Structure formats: structure tokens, C-alpha cells
Amino acid sequence: MTILDINTAVKNLLNNFDGLNTHIGYEGDVFGGATEDELDDWNEQLDETRPYIIGQKLDSGFRAEVKDWHSHAVCLTGLSFDKPLIFDLAEAKMGVLHFSATLTGGVGARYLYKALGSCSLTVEIPVTYDWLKLDNGEDQILAVFQVKSASVNLTAKTAAELDEILSSVTAQSKRFQNQLLMSQISRSYKNFHKLTGLDSKDFYKPYVKNE
């Protein structure tokens, strides 16, 4: 059960990161605002910064890539998506895409990296029927980025090592949750700004060096 517990904790941290990734630099109420105008402004920011999957039809199969996994997301998690995913129609019909990702050190809090160290993992994104439109003449489609599960290769670890890793993931998740609580109280993500290790002008950039 420990490996499942570790993977579940990783998935939960990534899913709890959604709002932070889209609104870390937002000047208003990061949780949506009180007035209709504020909510419209919040939604406009969301539309511009939300991570997504872009899919294209190839001569044989499909290509999918994670977009808008921003610089501050890399610095706060340590997670980077390595390369586009190439898959066939049969895989699309299975209901999930398996993206390869890595955890690396560098500037920022890098909660997942500090919990797991440098490693590779698989992030599973649900597939919708929209992918099948690419087989019906559409050039590309956009799909929601939502983590269904995350899998870290831990099969070579001993029971004692797994317990230690789970304790580390739990501790880093708690640190992250404590910061999220501060954000909820202040209705702002400014408490995360220093934790990125970036100047705020470098938020929302497509790439950040890991050194």
C-alpha cells in the first residue's frame, strides 16, 4: 500500500496546484472575487494561463503535448514534462494518456523534488472523446490538463525506504498545504512569490533553467 500512498500524495499535490499555477501573479482575489466584474477578470486570467493539452493528428497516430506548465510551476514542484507523447488510436480509446516527466533540483521550493529527489515519473491525464475528432478531419484539439494519477517507479525500494519516502512526501505536502492555507486567509498567492525563486516578471514563462 505504501507505493500507492506515495503516488496518491503526489497526484493530490499536483491537483491542488491548479489555482496557484493559473493565478500566482494575479492582483485581485485569487479565488474568484466578489463582484461580477471581478469574476470576469478572474476567468479571463484563467483562460490565458490554464495548463492544457494540445493534440495533433500525425500520418500514423497522434501527438499530444502539455502546454502552459509555467516556470513557477517548475520551480514550486520540480516537475518538468520531458517531451511530447506519440500514441495511436487504440491508446486514445483506453481513456488515459501517460506523459513522461522528471523531477529536478534548482531554484524555488520544489516540493516534489525535495520529497522524492531526482527521478522519473508518469503523469496520467484523462482522455476525452475530443481526441477522436482528430481522426475525422480536425487539425488539432485542445484538452483540459487534469491529473488522474501519478506513478513513481519505486519497485526496487525496500519497505523501509518506502516508509521514509512516504514520510518525506507527507512532510512536503504539509508544508505546501500550510502555504495554501495562508493564501486562502489572505486571498492572495503572494506568500508563494519568494518560494518560486523567481522575480515576478518571470512568472508564466514557458521554460526555466533548473540550475
One digit per residue, the tens of pLDDT, for the chain of length 211 reads 689 999 999 999 999 888 999 999 999 999 988 899 999 999 999 999 999 999 888 887 889 999 999 999 999 999 999 789 998 878 777 778 899 999 999 999 999 999 999 999 999 998 766 666 766 667 787 888 889 999 998 888 899 999 999 999 999 999 999 999 999 999 999 999 999 999 999 999 876 655 4
Neighbours of 131 (CB within 10 A): 22
Among 128, 131, 129, 126, CA closest to 147: 126
Could you give the CA distance from residue 125 to residue 120 in angstroms, rounded to a whole number?
A: 16
170: burial class by Cβ within 10 Å (0-12, 13-18, 19+)? middle
pLDDT at 21 (0 to 100): 92
Work out the angle between the directed axes of helices 159-186 and 2-16 (0-180°, nearest 10).
Answer: 20
| pTM listed for this prediction | 0.89
Could you give the CA distance from residue 28 to residue 203 in angstroms, rounded to a whole number?
A: 16
Could you give the CA distance from residue 210 to residue 105 in angstroms, rounded to a whole number?
A: 6
Q: Which residues 6+ apart lie within 8 Å of 84 measured at CB?
A: 63, 64, 65
pLDDT at 20 (0 to 100): 92
Cell of 183: 493564501
Q: Which residues on adjacent β-strands are paired with residue 120? A: 102
Residue 89, SS3?
A: helix
- What is the residue extent of each domain of the chain? 2-25+51-202
